[in-house]
Structures are given as structure tokens and as C-alpha cells.
Structure 1
Amino acid sequence: MPQSALWEPAVPAKNIPASNVGEYSSYFRNSLNAMFREEGEERNRFLQQLQEDRWTADRIREELDKAQDAESLGTVMRKLRRRIMMGLILRDITGSIEFAEVVQVMSDFAEAVIQKTVSVHAVELAERFGVPHSSLGVPQDLLVVGMGKLGGRELNVSSDIDLIFFYDEDGECKPTERFPKQRKILTNREFYERLSKKIILAISDITYDGFVFRVDMRLRPNGDSGPIVGSSEMLEEYLMTQGRDWERFAWSKGRIVSAPVFTSQEQFENQAKTLKDIVRPFVYRKYLDFGAISALTDLHAKIRAATKQKALTGLKNGTNVKLGRGGIREIEFIVQTFQVIRGGRNPKIRERSTLKALDVIAKEGLMEPAKVEQLKQAYVFLRNLEHAIQYVDDQQTQLLPDNSEQKAKIAAMMGFTPEVLEEQLKEANNFVADSFDAIFQTKSDETADPWPIGWERGDEASRPALVELLQMKGFFKPDEVASALLGLTRLRTFRMINPSAKERLIKLAKKVISNIDNFIAPNKNKISKEELIERFFNLFGAIAGRSTYVSLLSQYPQAMLKVGKVLGASKWATDYLIRHPILLDELLDERITYVDDYTPVDTTGYMDRTRDRLAQVDENDQETRMNLLRECHHARLFRLLIADLEGRFSVERLADHLSALADSTLEIAIEEAWKTVPGIFREIPKFGIVAYGKLGGKELGYASDLDLIFLYDDDHPDAEKIYIRFARRLMNWLTVTTSSGVLFDIDMRLRPNGESGMLVSSLDAYKKYERNEDGTGAWLWEHQALTRGRFSAGDVDIGREFEQFRKEILAKPRDPKETAEEVLKMRQRMRDGHPNTTSLFDVKHDQGGMVDIEFMVQYLVLAHASEHPELMNNFGNIKLLSMMEEAGLLPEGRGLEIGDAYRRYRKFQHEFRLNAPDSIPVRVEREEFEQEIALVKETWNYVFPSDIK
């Protein structure tokens, strides 16, 4: 290694007084203010207590044991985390704690939290269902495996925790002496699925007191698409048949972090041993496994590409101390290379801690001790820098910002001037990168180019050779693909770009042709290679003139792979990406994979980030602000779309997220549009948006329009004039097409008096119309629509008034027969408006379909809410069907059956729409839903007997 790559670690001089720590860490400052108010302690005394706190594993467990039940445990854990974090921040910034103690405390805390959470929730479940047992009658416990830095006991201060859940073997729950009651017999898997979900929610849910840890489950078998918990047998089969190289590296850190709850210590250790015996031969081969270098090189290349992309797009301005060149990850890869290559023959090297493993590597003579010592120093320096970055806002980030003011604060927390920090980081990065490159030598893969000459210029003479090449590559319609390739080079946008951009685009096209099989999604909507090529080239045509996006896809294979997966999975997603190519930036953002069925529906972060970005734009620049709101909304929706395409959502949970996103975007649009109205007389409008239809019922899809009405409740003399003006401005914000696209399609026809009515109504006028006391107001079908009405955004007092009034209207006693007659008339009008002359089944509009279910629910609410007020709650059709069964309005078991039918219809409709335009009705062979159709029709006749039709 060149001498210039060596570095001399500078000695930090941490001299920030405890009273000034809040100036450097906003998290510390905010937490201190909160705790000071809550506990009533004098600030200086409290700071002294934080300075003196020493958090051992035993003390942490004593604090957690103060919780009496699951509810109190949530509060205790969150408050304890805050206190521990504050103490670590204070002691680290003031120079009274070392790196080793910081990660030890965080790891001890995480382990204690997991064990306590498992215990409390497992006991609560056992009190209802008994204890899981093996086939031999042995009780079983949940095995929680901590991966990553938790597994290595090197957890950082704002890290998520990577967990995987297992149990020993399949069986059933049984009552025991300690837990004699059994409300229902559950299989072990059912028991542990419930327990796993409770654990994740208990630890990661954001409450008033914050969260405990972000929980990442993506390392489990089959990732986000795999079961949340599995048996040891399932893991063994998975690792033998599907285990990938990167999972070997991940499992090298795996460690069981749970403790016995139902079993003895010996039984628990036996179950743990079974799991370890499965994992060990998968990670560590009996021979020297030099093939691991190639796999790690590929993995590293992808990680480095993802990191560099952020600098290319300008979205991430700063230096990534973890994933960047010469960062933390490269030190970890150096260690894992030696471990995976030699760990099968040398158990000493299997040490999970990076620092301890480096010591073993030096002792075993695998690297020079001096170099190992410098790697250890570089690792501690980079990890300390990572902590300082995270101390600022308690964010899971490793990005040292370019902003000079922010960087100066982080440097001060490290005990350096900004100049010294920058020099130290540069030298450390160079040393680590050189060490890494010395191990990971890459091979040249230059090969002769088999592509015919001239095709990239659109030369028709190249077609025969091009067709022959494409035929060799397995295309069934090579002439069509050749036409697409030649057509790409003849596009006006292609001809106008510079030669280097053309060369990159040509290389992209070649890459797509050569790797087309890798992009085909393995699902029932599998498309042909030729169709996928068409989607790719449509995208290339859209971005040909945008060198940033062409460069992104050219230089970063991870982005290209993700684009291919998106295009291969969905026509709707393809069109969405073509309309909004800026979303290509999202494909390499790590946070895009964080959302799944178990992620809380929380848009607080989205709203905060959007408002922060809007705050950086001139308030008079309305066009830019409108574009920015659209870009933020599109990015959030795209993240949900990616998670959906990867199979991480149920349709119901996706709709929850999409509905919450719409609500939040409407909220911000209200704030923004109000500022643009001349003559406003108050800072915040007394204005609210009520959602009907899909948004009202929280069943929103990607392309659903929004059925809205606007209300105000303001006694200002100019209120009507101002709010009409405001409503028009708001509609403009929501519906106008800008250079960044459109937000929503809005349907206002459900407002009082429909299309002839005013765009916005006072709350009193709305109530008068809905009560219809003079016979000129709302029809019954409007009250039918009100069953799905919900306050969406705006003034919370209006929202509260609306919800109360909605229940008043729905609670009115109605004659069931007269109500049924009106509902049936409306249903017939809808059928007449959607005729189906084919033999196919229209999932939405045909008899026995979705609309029939929705009409039954709405009728039963209108006809019986006066006797069963719980039906007035807007819980969604599936929940209401269950409640109607409980109320005796449906036959026993029927509410659940119809709910399942509705769920299956929605799932099919959703999957259909992902690959078909909205103009095509959702139709399918009737045999696909034969049972559901019959069941819905039978229930329809039960709800609407012949004597009232």
C-alpha cells in the first residue's frame, strides 16, 4: 500500500460544556425541555444526573421491570430510551464516554427491550390461547435473531434493529398449569405471527413519547414477501434451496437476542442450538471459500453505486460515512471476507464484533497488525462521526452534510475544527479504500462487441444482422425488437442529444437487451420480452433529452435493475414513471424499502419534509411551490407503489396509506392556497374538506379521483366571498397540470345541489340541505353517499361538527321498505349506466360484484343505524359487514364471507388496474369468481327480499 494512504489519527479536544449541548443537538434540546417540564427537576441538577448515569444491562432491566403490562411497557421503554440517549449524547459531546461504552449501552438496551417485549406480549397471548408446544409436547419459545450491528453488539445511537423471528417446530398451543385457559386453539405459527406483529408494533410505533427502535424485517427468508415468522425447518429448506451469497454475509452477524418465557433455560438453549446448527454450515463452508470475494465485490459495487447516485442527483448533499468510498461498510466487508472465506475451518474468526474480529484477524496472521490497528482506529473514528451526525436530530443517517454551519457543529461534537475533521475524514477514507481495493481486485470483463455496425445510427442495412443477434438472445419476435431499437435511434430527442449522451443511451439499450430476463417479474401478469422492451424504450424516449437520468441509469446498475423490475411488473407504474422521470431518483433511496404491511400509517414525516421544502421557496413563486407539492406527493406515492409491486402490501393496507397521503396533501394544499387569496382576514381558514367515496371509505387506489365537498364555518361579513375565491384557488392547486404533473382528479358533484350548487358551502347551509326539512334538500341517495363521508383535511372543529352531524343524519329512523325501494332504484340506474354485453364478469358493476356489496352495506346502515348506532362509524365495508352480522342483520358467518369476497374483488381489481388503463372495465371469466358471485347474489336476496323490490 502506498505510504500516502496512511493516516495519523488526531487527538480530539472535546470542550463543550454540558449547559451548551442543546446548541449542537436539537434532539437533546427538545428532549431536555420535555423532561424538565414533566419531571419538574432543576435543569442543572438534571444535567448532572445525566452526566453521572451509568447504564448497565442490569440497571436497564430493572427500569423495564417497572412496567406492569403491555401498555405501560410502551411508555416506560420510550421514556427510558430518551433518558439513555440524552445521557449518551451529553457524555459523548463533553468527552466523558468512549465509543465502546456507547455501543455497549445501546446494544444492552435493545436486547433488554426485545426480551421484555417478547415476555409481556407472549404472556398476554398465552393467557388467551395457551402455550405453543412441539409434537412431543415440549413448550416452545420465540427465537428472535438480531442481525447487523445488534448481532455484533455494536449498535449505533439512532440505528434500526434488524430482526428475524423463528420458532423451533410446528405444533399447537396447549393449556398449561401456569396458563390454564384456552379461548381458541392456535397453531404455533398462528400464535407467533400474532406475537411477532405485537412485538414490532410495540417497539417501532410512534407515540406521544416517541419510538423505541425502528424495526427492519427485510433480512428474513424471502425478504418482505416472506412470512413474518418461520419454523427452523422452513429456514433450513430456504437456506439450502434459495439462500443467496449476501445472506451468508448477513447471517455471519446473526445472534439470538431473546430469552426463555415458557421454556426452561436448557430447553431454550436446545432450541437455539437447532437454529445455530442450521445457519452455521450455510455461512461457513468446510473449505476455503475464495468465491466469496466475487460475491462481496458485486454487493459492494451495488452499495457504492447507490451512494454515488445521491451525489449525481444532488438530492443528498454530503459525505456518506457508512456507504461511501472508504466508509464503515468497507471495513465491515474486509472483516466479513476473511470470516466467510476461512470461518468454516477456523471458528475463532467467526467473532461478530467488527473490532474483536479485526483483533482475531491480526492474531491469526491474516493481515499486518499495524494495518489492523489503523483499520480499528479508522472504524472507531468513522463510527464516532456517525454518532455525532445522528446526535443532531436522532435521525437514522450517516450523511455528513456539506452545509458549513452544520458541519462545524458536528466537528465541534467530535472535538475538531471543521478543517481538521475534513482532513481526518479524507485520510481515513483513503486508507480504508486502499485497504479494501488491495483485497478486492476486480477482473476485466472486456469482450468483443457482437452488435452489428451502423444500427446505433438507425442504418436500415443493419437490420438483418440485428434480427439474427436478437434471435440468438432468445427473442420470439426479433424483427419487432429490431424495429424498436432502430426506432429509438431515429427519435428526434435522440438525434438532438450530444454524442456522449447518445453513447450512454445506446449502452443502456444493449444492457436491456442482454439482461431482459432479469427484469421479468415472476407473477401471473408476466409479460413478454418484447412488451417489456417496448416499455423500456418508451422510458428511454422520455428521458433521452435529460442527461441526468440517462447518466443515472448508465452508471448505477442497481437503479437500472429496479427500473426493470418496475417496468416488468406494471404498465401503470411504467406510465407513471414516464410522466414523472424525476422519480428515478427514488429508486436508490434506502428509505424506499422501509414501508410494508406492518409500517404504521403515519404521514407526519412526509408533511414535515414537504413543509420544510416549501419553506425554502419564495412565497410569491406559486408555480414552483405547486410543482414542489406535486413532486413530494408523487415521490411518496411512488414509494408505496414500489412496496406494492414487491408484494409488501395487502390491498387494504395500501389503501390506508394512499388515503392518508391524500389527506395530508390536501391539508398542505389548503395551507398553500389560502396564502394566495387576496383579502384574507385570518391566518388559518375556518375551512374543511369532507371526503366521500373511495377516499371517504379509505379505499383509495392509485388513480382514484377524489369525491370532495368544501365547507366553511366563519361569521366574518366577507366570509362567503373570500371562501368562494379560496375554493377556486384550491381547486387550481389540486387539479391544474403543471410541468410536474397534476395532483388529483376532483369530483365535486356530491356537494349540495350538485353541479348547480356553490363550490363551497357554509356549515349551516350544508346542514340545512342535508336535513331537507323543507323538501328541497338532500335526496336519500345523498344520505347513502354520506355513509362513506369522512372529514379529510382542514379545520378540526369543522371536522368534529361534521362527524357529529353525519351521525345525526344516519341515525334518523327510516322505513326499511321505503329505504330499500330508493336504494334499489339507484342501483338499477347504475347498472343501466354500465351495461355489459360480454360473457365476462364485470367485477365492479355486474350483479354479484363489488357495487352490490357496497349498496347492501349502505342500505343496512341507513335502515338500521337508529337501532344499531355502532353502524354509523366509518370503518370500511369489510368491518361493517362483520358488525352487521353481529347485529343480526346478516346470517351467521355471512358478514365474514361477504367481506372475504369483497377483499378478493378489490385485490383482483387492484392487480388488473396495474396493467390496464382505466378505460378498460375490470372483467374476467365468471368461473374465476363463481362462488363469490353466487354468495353475493344470495345475500342480496336476503337483504332485499322480493316483497320490497
Structure 2
Amino acid sequence: MPRLQLSEVPEYSFYVKRSLEAMRFGASAEEQMADLARLAAGPVTREQMAERLGAINEPEEMNLAMRRLRRDVMVSLIARDLTGEAGYQEVVETMTALAEETVSHCVRVESRALARRFGVPMSEQGVPQDLIVVGMGKLGGAELNVSSDIDLVFVYDEAGETQAVGEFANARRTLTNHEFFEKLSKRVIPALNDLDGIGFVFRVDMRLRPFGDAGPIAVSMSMLEEYLYTEGRDWERFAWLKGRVISRPVFMGNEAFESAVNGLNSLVRPFVFRKYVDFSAISALSRLHELIRAQTIRREAGRNLGINVKLGKGGIREIEFITQTFQIIRGGRERELRGKSTLPMLQALAEHGAISRQTAERLAVEYVFLRNLEHALQYVDDKQTQVLGNDGQAQARIAAMLGMQPGQMLERLESCREFVSGTFDEIFHIDSSINSIPGWPVGWHTGDEEGVSALEGKLRELGYADPRALAERVSKLLNTRLKSSRSADAKTQFTRFVVHLADHANEWAREAVGGVSGDEVFHRYLELLEVVVGRTTYVALLNQYPSAAARVGKILAVSRWAAQYITAHPLLLDELVDGRGRQVDDYTPVDWSGWLDDLRREMIASEGDQERQMNLLRDAHHAAVFRLLLADLDGRLTVERLADQLSALADAVLSLVLDLAWHSIPTRHIDQPRFAVIGYGKLGGKELGYASDLDIIFLYDDPSEEALTNYPKLVRRMMSWLTVQTSSGILFDIDMRLRPNGQNGLIASSMEMFRRYQRNEDGNGAWLWEHQALTRARFCAGDPEVGAAFEKERSFILTQPRNRDEVVRAVIEMRSKMLDGHPNATELFDVKHDRGGMVDIEFIVQALVLAHAHDHPELVNNFGNTLLLEMAGRLGLIPEQYAAKAPLAYRKYRNIQRRHRLLNEAEGRAVRVPLDEVREERDLVLRLWELVMGSAEPVRNRVQ
């Protein structure tokens, strides 16, 4: 099948089509094709790139020029490749040259701009210093692909400080060299990385620097040396194998710069290559490969995305690993094996007898095929993707770009992956035979009676109380879910994990608080496996990361609710691998603004696919809740801080949903709605639990005629986003009964209507109990001006003078109704609803606010019950001893509630404990109730 005609290229590459349209606004189709023909006429040389950038000396002009150059180079390469004019080598060499030229020119321009302010960085001997940029990965190997990020490490030679010399004699401030290069790095990265109207130059990844994201952005030679030889890990040897300096001197002379580069190479080389034949590299690389394959599994878990031609089995990475392993093993003695590029090194390995010539030649052919396929995937929309999707139309597009029929392409790809993975497994001696596990009986995993008996015996030996029940449950899984699975690997992964589970479940149980047995932990884990066992990726993840498996085991042991949560949302296993949950504690709050920004970017990438956006939002919310759960189980969050974080998370979700829902309304009349979400109850009081529903109302302040129709539409769409059940679950249950006129009221109220209702201007407005609910209300999301208008009205209502006796009567009446709605026939104490419990404390606070806010308007502040009780004590509204002790009682109740729900039940179930556990707190609250409410006592105390 022939490759594409030039005129067909924009039909197959959306990126080319967009770029041609952007080059000349309003250009005709003929003019666009003329531009394309001009760009595709010949290869773009390094000299041409340097000529376009060389005369530019200002950062802003440089940023624009680099982006235009990148666009032209990309269009040229795509057109030349798809029409058969350019081969693989031209593509990767041109992209590498583009990266080197843009980075070098960017460093030059930004270095000189900084030097005009701070002078030239000098060593202590007075020698000028430059930023040395090391290209890693495919850039270092001069085999960069078309939509790749670039892995960089920034190094400088010596310590010192800047000096005002030469043309930079007017510099007025001195910096240390480290400060100078840190500032320079922070200018270079966004200059290359940031997206503007034209695009970006290259996505920049700095995670390969010493200490990764936690390390300084630019390091001295001495720091790099100390890190590599004291902290450097096996995988970093493979990373630095491809490290290559790609920048040029700015302040240093060529000879001095070359000397510094030679010094860097001399420093790195002994770290990468050992003097002896280093067979330990095989096990090191095998572990590294397993980690990367597991990351691919983790990323694609639960999503039938297609074939990952880079990180998947038999992909590009496996060929690179084969090559790099033999380089590491033998490169210390054989200098010819120290090259950076994959194809020349495959040939060198064959020449040195490391692999057969036939294998090397076949791997080279398959490498070029996979890289060409990767390029075709990225040509479509300039996206950093390596996944060939399952959509037939998309596959046909990619096949045509390769000059193949779809079936021919898939057959060729399957043959390629089979050969590459087979070669890799043979070299690294991959053996997954479950019968080879020491100490385990042969055939225990067969699922038949003999297998059950064998497993029962092993579990008895390991100390389980009822090994037969566990063995039968494992057997049932083997004979049902796994027997029907088409994946042979699914059974292997499951049986491997059962061995790990059996060895550790008793240990996890002993470490847990609450006296759970090892058998119970084993059963809870099997409940999780029953959900995920058909998806090999999840079980493979647990096998690959024993620390994550242990973390899950300990969570299952500590909390039944957490066990149910993980089982319902197995994608959360990812959180246990990357460790983000460990960053949360009382002193390190979550950056919900940053979380929201990241999520918005994901939403934009999935624009037009609402179902996917809903699932992305739900998955992100579940992951965020899970991080808080991990911190909670570890004891890193107080009950108050946990509620604050969950409430802030809900606010963030409401803000995003509001934005998404509004922009999905075709009839919207303004860009940003004058609309607010108001939280009541636990959300309003920032006391949200893990599975609390949201009490919310919706207000708008917009005189437009369209407001009457558009804002109810907005509410309905928001409700859909929040409550619809998708494959990833729901976000929240929503209760809107506190809106004006309750269930009979409008779903979106104007601010003026809300005012009239709260002030009861027509005699049919708010009751006192609605003002009582207002004490725990706050603005959560939307237009801050509408939120401020609500807060002003709330303050006005709550500070109105009220008759204390009327307030007390109304509060007691409401308390009686609530008590009748939550009967307790047991001898246990209901920490929330029984007299002397949490609701009594909350009603006491609300009564104090309603009765006294006129004289003490500071009570209107929504500080939460504990702080308001303390404030009431300072104001003399309650005795100081009660102001000190009642908050402690409330905190104890909340901790009991949290503990019981984690150990046993989800939100909504009564939490009851023996009265002796809380008798002192209960009696204190009852006495405070009598003090605040007076002698009136229409509700009986049911627990004696």
C-alpha cells in the first residue's frame, strides 16, 4: 500500500491542519497547500534552525521564535515522513537537533538577560561559569521522537559568585553561582515548556536530577558526584548511560567549556560502568523493568485502552533495556559499548558477541517499526501518546500513515511484540511457575479437592484458625472467576498473591488495633480479590509492590469501612504505590487549589466526552478521599482537620461541577454565572464525614431575563454531575430541602427572593428552625459577590433581636421532634441522638447564637461548635468550666463516631456505646442544656 499524498497529510494529522491554518490567518486551501509544500521540500537542517534563532537576544522574542520554529519543523517532518520522503533516522535526528538548538539558544538568551542584572557567574579563581545542560533519555541518545518531552539535568562546574564585568559591567547586584543558575533554570524551563497561542517548544522533565523533585533544580559538579556515589541507585546508572551535554558555552571560552564537560563525563563514567564484567546489572534492570511495566499496568488499570507500544509487553522499552543491560555489563571493559543510541549499540553488541547477529538485526528492525508506529500515533494531534487504541477507525488512520492495511499492521505488531518479549524473557530468565515456591505443596492451586486439602494444610501450618474455610474460598475463586478468565496470567498473578497473603495476613492482624483475626484479614482481602481478580493488572500491581500489598492489608485489618471503600474503587490501589497520601497531616494541608487546577486540565483534555469527564472527576474525588483516609488511619489528622479537609474537597468539587455544568448550557447568557452554592449542615459547619451527604441550596443575583431559565438548568445539570451513577460511582447524595419553601420551593432562588423569605416579609417566610439551620450555613462555591451577599444577609438575620424564651421553646420543640425520629430501645448510648449527646451540644450552640448574636455579633462567625462554645464562655453566656469541658465532650463524641464508622459502619448508621464510656460527658452536656434552656424539659432522658 503506498504512503500518503502530500494533499492528504492534513486529513490524517489534525496538528498539521491546525498549524497550516494558524500560519496565515484566512489563507485559502491552495495557499495552505503551498505552505505545506514549501515546508516539506527538504529536511530542516541544524544550520537553518541556528540561523532562525541566532540573531535573537530578547527572551520574549526568543520564546515566540522557538515556538514558530518547532511548529515548522514538526509540519515538515510529519509531511515528509507520511509521504515517504523522510525515514526514521531523519525524524529522530531532526527532533534531536531541534531540542539541542532551542535549549542552547534559550540558555544563551536567558543567561545574558540575567547577567545584565546580576553579572557573570565566576569561579573563586575568576573563571566564568556556564549552565551545562545534560540531555537524558532519548535526547541524550540522539533519538528523540516527535512529541517527546525532554529529560534534562542542569549542572554547573564550580561555586563562586557573579561579577559585573565586560559588557555586563552595569550589573548592580551580586548572586552566588547557585542562586544565579537556579534563577536561570527557572527561566529556561517555562520558556521551553509553557503553552501559549502557538504551542510549546518541548515539555521539560527534570525528575532525573539528584534527589528528583525534592532536589535543587541546578547542581554543582561536586554535589552531583557526592550524590551519585553515595545515593545513586541502580536505575540511575541506566539513566546516566544516555546522559549527554547538549548546551554550548555562553560566558566560558570553548576550551574551558570543553574541559568542564570532560570533567563531568569523567565523573559520571565510573558510576555507570564498572571496571569488571558487571552481571549484577541483569537483576537490577530486571527489577527496573518490572517497575515500569507495573506502572503501565497501574496507569491502564480498568481501562481497555489498547496496546502501549512503548511501555507494554514487547514494546520499545524492552528493546532499549536489552541493549542497555549488555552495555552496562560489558561497557566497563569494552569502550565500544558505551554509545548513547540504540541502533548503533545493537550492532556493536552483535560485533562483540553479546547477542547473536540475527537477534540484533531483528531487534533493530522491530525497533524502527515500533518507533515509526509511535511517531504515527503522535502525528495525529501532537500528543505524547504511545497507545494504539482499539477503535477501528483510529487504527485504519494509523495504518494508512504507515502505508499498511489495518489487519496487516496489527499482524505485524503482534509478531513484533511476540519476538521482542520472547527475547527479553529469555535474556532475563523470566519464570512464573507457581510450583517453584519453596515450602508450598505442589498442586495447591489446582482448585480441586486435593488442592483444597493441600492449601488447608499449609494455612494450618501458618497458624490460621479456620484454614478449611479460607482454602475453600480460594478454591471457589479458582473454579469460578479465574476458570472463566481468558488470561493465563490472571491465575498466575492470583496464585502468587495468595502465597504473599497467606504469609502476612496474621502479621497485619497483630499490628491492627481492635483485635481483628488473621482469618478475618484474609477474608477481607479475598473480598477485594473477588472484585479485581478478573483484571490481572490490579493483582499484578499488588505482586509488584509488596509495600502496597502490606498497606492494603493493614488498612483492611484496621477498618471494615475502608475495606469496603477500596473494594468499591480498586483504582485507589494506585494511591498506595505513589505515596501521595503520606504528605497529608495536620501541618501539611492538601493544596486543593492545585488539585483543582490539575483536574481542570484533565477535563479540558477530555472535552466533548461527558461520561469520561464524570468518571475522571469521580476517580479523582475517590483518590483524594482515600489519601485523607490513609492519613486518618495513620493518626496524622485530628477529627477537626479531617472534617476541614473533606469539606474543602467538597467545595473544590462543587466549584468544578458548577463550571462544567454552566459551560455545557448552550443558552448561557454570560461567561461566568452570578450564582452561588450555599452549604448547610455538616458541609456548612465544616464537619463533613467520609460519606456525608451535602445539604445545599442555590442562589443567584442576576437581573437578566435569561436568569429565570438558565439557573434552574444549571442546577439540574449540577445535580446530574453530582448524583448520577457511572462506572466510577457517584460523587455525593444531595439534600436540597433547606431551600426557601423546602421541597415545594424553587430549585434556584434569586438573592432578593431569599432575602424576602428569610425576613418573612409576606408572612409566609422562614420559620425559626430555618434560622437555626442558618447558623451552620456558608458560601461554598460560585461567584464570590453572590457569596458575599449571602453572608451579609445571613449575618443580618442572625443578629436580629429575639425573645430568648421563644428561641428556647422553638429549639426544644425541634429537639423533641428529632428525638422521636431516632428511637433507641437498647441499653447503649447513641452518641449523636440521645440526650446529652452531639445533637444536644449543637442545639445549645445554635440557641446561644440565635438568642445572643444581636448583642454579640461575633457569634455569627461560622467557627464550628467547639470554638463557639469557648467564645460563649468568654462572653459570659455560659459558665467557663462548661465552656472548657463541653468542647472536649463534643470532640470525644466525634472521635467515637469516627472510630466506629471506620471499624464497622459507613455514614448514616447509629453509633452506640456503653454509657459508662461517656457518662461524665453525657451528664455535663445535660447540665449545660438545663443552664442554657432553663427549666423547660419536654424531652426525656432515655439513658440512665
Q: Does 1:22 align with 2:10?
A: yes
- Give the alignment partner of residue 632 of structure 1, picking from 607, 616, 635: 616
Q: Which one-letter code corresponds to 2:20 in the other structure?
A: L
Measured after TM superposition, the shift of residue 156 of structure 1 is: 0.5
For residue 669 of structure 1, report the CA deviation from its aligned partner. Answer: 4.3
* Partner residue in 2 for 1:544: 529
Deviation, 1:769, is 10
User: 1:42 pairs with 31, 36, 39, which one?
Assistant: 31
CA offset at residue 451 of structure 1?
A: 8.2
Q: Are residues 1:448 and 2:438 paired? A: yes
Q: Which amino acid aligns with 2:861?
A: M
For residues 665-688 of structure 1, give each alpha carbon's deviation from its aligned partner in whole angstroms, at most 9, with x where no partner exists: 43334567x79xxxxx88999955
2:40 aligned counterpart, secondary structure? helix
Q: Structure 2: which amino acid aligns with 1:149?
A: K
Match of 1:240 among 229, 253, 258: 229
Q: Per the alignment, do residues 442 and 671 of structure 1 end up closer, same or farther by CA in structure 2, a change over 3 Å counting?
A: same
Equivalent position to 1:690, from 671, 676, 684? 676
For 2:462, the equivalent position in structure 1 comes to 466
Q: How many residues align?
A: 784
Q: Structure 1: how far apart are the matches of 2:425 and 2:531?
A: 33
Q: Tell me the equivalent position of 1:667.
A: 659
Instruction: Tell me which residue corresponds to 1:276.
Output: 265
Counterpart CA distance in 1 for 2:122 and 2:341 is 34
Q: TM-score, normalising length from structure 1?
A: 0.66
Matches of 1:772 and 1:139, distance apart in 2: 78
- Counterpart amino acid of 2:420? V
What is the DSSP-based 3-state SS (H/G/I as helix, E as strand, rest coil) of the residue aligned with 1:635? helix
Mapped contact 1:691–1:708 kept (Cα < 8 A): yes
2:392 is matched with which residue: 404, 408, 411? 404
- Quote the Cα distance in structure 1 between the aligned partners of 2:674 and 2:524: 40
Per-residue deviation, residues 90-121 of structure 1 (Å, max 9, x unmatched): 11111111211111111111112222333333
Q: Which residue of 1 aligns with 2:342?
A: 354
**Shift, 1:52, TM fit:** 2.0
Instruction: Check whether the contact 2:646–2:690 (CA below 8 A) recurs between aligned residues.
Output: no
Residues 519 and 561 of structure 1 are in contact (CA less than 8 Å); yes or no, is this contact kept in structure 2? no
* Distance of aligned partners of 1:260 and 1:568 in 2 relative to their CA distance in 1, 3 Å threshold: farther
The Cα of 1:409 is off from its aligned counterpart by 1.9
CA contact (8 A) 2:618 2:729 kept: no
Higher relative contact order (CA 8 A, sep 6+): 1
Name which of 317, 331, 341 aligns with 1:329: 317
Deviates further, 759-768 or 749-758: 749-758
**In structure 2, distance between residues paired with 1:914 and 1:270:** 62
Number of the residue aligned with 2:308: 320
The match for 2:364 is 376
Verify the 8 A CA contact 2:674 2:702 in the aligned structure 1: no
Matched, 1:231 2:220: yes
Q: Which has the larger radius of gyration?
A: 2
Q: Is the 8 A contact 1:539 1:578 kept in 2?
A: no
Moved more, 41-50 or 169-178: 169-178
Worse-superposed segment, 403-412 or 568-577: 568-577
Q: 2:715 aligns with which of 722, 727, 733?
A: 727
Q: CA deviation at 1:233?
A: 2.7
Aligned partner letter, 1:826? N
Instruction: State the Cα deviation string for residues 654-675 of structure 1 (Å, max 9, x = none).
Output: 9999987664343334567x79
Instruction: State whether residues 122 and 195 of structure 1, in contact with CA within 8 Å, keep that contact through their aligned partners in structure 2.
Output: yes
In structure 2, do the counterparts of structure 1 residues 337 and 716 end up closer, same or farther at CA, with 3 Å as the change threshold? closer
Change (3 A) 1:200 1:725: closer
1:92 aligns with 2:81: yes
- Measured in 1, the distance between the counterparts of 2:620 and 2:470 equals 31
Shift of 1:464: 7.0
Per-residue deviation, 1:415: 1.8
Of 599, 603, 607 in structure 2, the residue corresponding to residue 607 of structure 1 is 603
Separation (CA, whole Å) in 2 of partners of 1:607 and 1:735: 18
State the percentage of identical aligned residues: 39
Q: Name which of 52, 67, 71 aligns with 1:63.
A: 52
Moved more, 29-38 or 186-195: 186-195
Q: Give deviations 1:46-90, integer Å, cap 9, x for gaps.
A: 122122253222221332346553333333222222221111111
Whether contact under 8 Å (1:407, 1:418) holds in the other structure is: yes
Give the 3 Å change call, closer, same or farther, for CA 459–376 of structure 1 in structure 2. closer
User: Which deviates more from structure 2 when the two are superposed, residues 149-158 or residues 765-774?
Assistant: 765-774
1:826 to 851, 857, 861: 861
Structure 1 equivalent of residue 241 of structure 2: 252
Q: What amino acid is the match of 2:352?
A: E
- Cα offset for 1:344? 0.7
Change (3 A) 1:430 1:754: closer
Post-superposition shift, 1:435?
A: 4.1
Assess, with a 3 A threshold, how the Cα gap between structure 1 residues 385 and 17 changes in structure 2: closer, same or farther: same
Alpha-carbon separation, structure 1, partners of 2:243 and 2:11: 38
In structure 1, the partner of 2:254 is 265
Q: Per-residue deviation at 1:495?
A: 7.8
Distance in 1 between the 2:114 and 2:441 partners?
Answer: 64
Q: Answer with 426-435 or 69-78: which moved more.
A: 426-435
State how far apart, in whole Å, the 1-side matches of 2:747 and 2:725 are. Answer: 20
Which residue in the other structure is 1:414 paired with?
A: 402
Which range is displaced more, 748-757 or 541-550?
748-757
Deviations 1:293-350 (A, max 9, x none): 2222333344455557788845222x33223343322322222122111111122211
Please report the TM-score for the alignment, with normalisation by the length of structure 2.
0.67
Match of 2:480 in 1: 498
> Secondary structure of 1:146's partner?
strand
Q: Provide the rounded CA distance (Å) in 2 between the counterparts of 1:92 and 1:755.
A: 64
What are the ranges of 5 or more consecutive residues in structure 1 without an aligned counterpart?
1-11, 468-481, 521-525, 615-624, 676-680, 792-798, 810-817, 838-912, 920-949
Unaligned runs of 5+ in 2: 445-449, 484-490, 584-589, 632-640, 794-852, 873-900, 908-944
Residue of structure 1 in register with 2:286 after alignment: 297
Q: CA RMSD in A?
A: 6.0
User: Per-residue deviation at 1:255?
Assistant: 0.9
